[in-house]
Amino acid sequence: MNNTLQYKGFIAKLTVSDEENMMYGEVIGARTVLTCAGRSITEFKKSFRAVVDEYLVFCTEQGIEPEKEWKGKLTFRPRSDDMRIMMQRKAIETGKSVNEWLNQVVERALVA
């Protein structure tokens, strides 16, 4: 089961509570806390869409830009010095910086 839903460029991460027979979600990628819930996938989707629509109306009324995607830096920490050295060697072999090489590797992994 995919544990995310998308709507208007927003993504909600879904968590299921068997004990409560509920689905809970939080919109990820925004500093504003946006949550939704439902007892069925239909209710959950309706709640998610409603919270996004309400947020967009709020942003329009306040004259602010909606936050809907992650805008941060990613720090990668290799597990070992050996891994760091191997990454550096691979980057040098391909004539790229480590950052450029990592971007290429991640892009290939995301399309696979």
Please indicate whether residue 47 or residue 77 has the higher confidence score (pLDDT): 47
Tokens representing 41 are 């996938």
Is pLDDT at 1 greater than 60 in this prediction? Answer: no
Minimal CA–CA distance to 35: which of 55, 53, 51?
51
Please indicate whether residue 15 or residue 72 has the higher confidence score (pLDDT): 15
pLDDT digits (tens, 9 = 90+) for 4-50: 888 998 999 999 998 999 999 999 877 788 999 999 999 999 999 99
pLDDT digits (tens, 9 = 90+) for 96-110: 888 889 989 998 998
Is pLDDT at 73 greater than 80 in this prediction? Answer: no
